[in-house]
Amino acid sequence: MLVAGSHPDNYVLEPEEADKPIKVDQVRDLVSFVVQTAQMGGRKVVLVEPVEAMNVNAANALLKSLEEPSGNTVLLLVSHQPSRLLPTVKSRCVQQACPLPGEQMSLDWLSGALPDCTAEERFELLTLAAGSPLLAVSLHAQGVREQRALVVEGVKKLLKQQQSATQLAEGWKDIPLLLLFDWFCDWSHLILRYQMTQDEEGLGLGDMRKVVQYLAQKSTRGKVLDIQDWVLAQRQKVMSKANLNRVLLLEALLVQWAGLPGQA
């Protein structure tokens, strides 16, 4: 029943759509579940993930259940960015850190979890997941490698003036905004690092190495710092679930990216 998602005493609360917040109405439904008696005679288990996706109203609606959950109810709040949680939420929880396993251990586990992937694909997925093997499996299921390949190809065409910012922004409509800003933030960091160290081992995954090296050589450090600051600011807006015009935001990003080569 757990695998099928039909266990009557198990409740999973997550955003209804990618890049969307957990809404207060969803939390109210959860509260109604918490106050009920377990149907199977044991404990009720609630999983909220990611808990930082709750907006302020949703988080406040959950406080009473966190402070005084009904008997035999366990609430598990999973956070990938605990610094974003309200202090009132954190203070009502017992915090348990879950450190990542080592790279080789993760790759060994992924060889069993993703047997149809090549060793290179598993390494790439683990890198994109920042070392988290479970996230790597999730990224594989979402087709993130294919999405990233589309973005990488688009960036190359943008710099060669073979495709416009508008065309790319519209073509990336199905790729989560947060993923896009994560990648561009990472690439700007790699450019800066190469400008300062000239270390070719730090150029990132192979599909963007030449692009990172080219932009590091053709851009001023000031311009790269400026675009990195801008990307970080816009990423924060995306994470806060602000009501953003997706196409205009991506166009602005790509116009700045296309302007990196050359003197300030």
What is the fold of 2-91?
Answer: Rossmann fold (3.40.50)
Instruction: Give me the pLDDT at residue 205, please.
Output: 86
What tokens does 40 get?
A: 């199977």
247, amino acid identity: V
**Cα separation, 67 vs 65, whole angstroms:** 5
Instruction: Give me the pLDDT at residue 166, please.
Output: 94
At residue 252, does pLDDT exceed 60?
A: yes
Domain boundaries, the chain: 2-91, 103-142, 162-259
Please state, as a whole number, how many other Cβ atoms lie within 10 Å of the Cβ of residue 59: 20
- Which helix (H) or strand (E) segment holds residue 73: the answer is strand 73-77
Strands 44-48 and 73-77 come out as: parallel
- DSSP label at residue 101: P
Least confident segment among 36-45, 81-90, 153-162, 182-191:
36-45
Instruction: Give me the pLDDT at residue 264, please.
Output: 45
Do the Cβ atoms of 149 and 207 come closer than 8 Å? yes
Instruction: Give me the pLDDT at residue 1, please.
Output: 59
pLDDT digits (tens, 9 = 90+) for 127-140: 999 899 999 999 99
Instruction: Give me the pLDDT at residue 227, please.
Output: 94
What is the fold of 103-142?
Answer: Helicase, Ruva Protein; domain 3 (1.10.8)
At residue 2, does pLDDT exceed 80?
A: no
Q: What percent of the chain has pLDDT over 90?
A: 66
